[in-house]
Homo-oligomer: A and B are copies of this chain.
Amino acid sequence: MRSIHDPRYHLITAALKEIREKKGLTQDELAANLGKKQSYVSKAEGNERRLDLLELSEWLIGLGITLKDFLQNIGWLSEELSVAVPIKGQASQQGKDVVQKMLLQGKSYDVVLKNVALDKYLEVEEFISNKFLALNEPKNKQKNREAIFEAIEFAVKKLPKLNPSDIYVHLVYRAYIRDYKRTRAEQSWVRAGGEAMEIFVEKHYSKLLAAEGITIKALLSGAEKAKALKEMGLEGVVGDSKLDIALYGTHKGKQVIFGGIHSKASLAERVSDDVPCSVAMMGLGLQSILLTFDAKSYPPPQGNLVTIGEFGTTDNPSDKRHYIESHGSFDVCFSYNLHTYPSKLPTKSGKQIYVSDFGPDDPLPQFIIDGWKAFKAKL
């Protein structure tokens, strides 16, 4: 059988025609781009004339699309991403949960997203994907961290029962890897994802805390961090260690810093970055909170993509658990990963790990409010 009659070949020409029409080009205009007659375009699109690779390549230049993108679009070139990414439109309801198919090196893996309705999930998937695809537009003006923040915010709002860590890792991070193309998505994620988390924490709690006279402020710039450290009396004391989010109360009409939040998507060894600053803060009677998505999931073939986190269990604790429960390097840790095991009381240090989502039972705001009350009493 000649290719020209092969339905698979027709997929190619149909795709070419679709792209041309989407770009608003007539056959005449495209032919002019290619330095050919209109009949060449017409015959090729109508499968009266075969295109070889060279002609296809030139055709695509005429259409302003790369060979790679075209081949990927028609599914001839497998995505070579080796980070697991969600396959759009490949989610299904299973009982109360949604099962999302993730693609990793040509293989598909199921990730179970608990307590999610499929229609809401698809709405979130669409919203997030559009946000991230929009970042690729040359005329895009939005900051990456803003787009990621909005993705998290939307997902948390629409899927309040879903594990926040799963939102961060599977819905937002993996979609970013899949859809963001302007620079190296993973390194861009490192840069922007962490800050988006800080912005989310600020925005999510600001209203509730404002009612108690408390201001929560993400410290995004070095200058802001330095200012907050100075206000705490920690300028130069902890090297130039850092604080991610500052907490202010209102006392005699003035804003007084009374604590802060160390925010980490995942801990790894990096949690020790924050320890000196945290210990110094606690030494000055300032509230020092560790907030984390405890976002660790091991990809296949080692793991199964479940966001198991890094704290281990209370019976078999990891080193990171010891930072809270044994060494008491922070006043408290809030993990927004429902797989994290909360502390079994009492702990050696008296400090504990809470596990929460961003719903009405979230103990973080009250912890901050209590902290401010205690701080104010001593002023």
Contacts and interface: CB of A to CB of B under 8 A. Distances in A.
A282 interface: no
A52 interface: yes
A21 interface: no
Interface string A225-236: 000000000000
Contacts of A71: 67-68, 71
A57 B76 contact: yes
Contact of A68 (B78, B275, B319, B322): B78
- Which residue, A12, A55, A80, A241, has most C-beta atoms of chain B within 10 A? A55
B82 A77 contact: no
A319 B229 CA distance: 15
B56 A53 contact: yes
Interface in A54-72: 54-57, 67-68, 71
A interface, by DSSP: helix, strand, loop or mixed? Answer: helix
Nearest to A187: B186
A275 B239 contact: yes
Contact of A51 (B53, B319, B323): B53
Given A50-B50, A51-B52, A239-B322, 5 more contacts: A9-B53, A80-B80, A270-B270, A272-B273, A272-B276
A348 to B, nearest CB: 11
Given A184-B82, A276-B275, A53 B12 contact: yes
A137 interface: no
Chain A, interface size category, equals 35 or more
Interface of A: 3-4, 6, 8-9, 12, 50-57, 67-68, 71, 76-78, 80, 82-83, 183-184, 186, 239-242, 269-270, 272-273, 275-276, 319, 322-323, 327, 329
B56 A272 contact: no
A326 to B, nearest CB: 8
A184 B55 CA distance: 34
A274 to B, nearest CB: 9
A53 B52 contact: yes
Contact of A9 (B8, B54, B239, B327): B54
A327 B239 contact: yes
Nearest to A52: B50
A329 to B, nearest CB: 7
A54 B3 CA distance: 6
Nearest to A320: B240
14 contacts: A12-B53, A51-B53, A53-B53, A67-B76, A68-B71, A68-B80, A83-B184, A186-B186, A239-B323, A239-B327, A239-B329, A240-B322, A241-B272, A269-B273
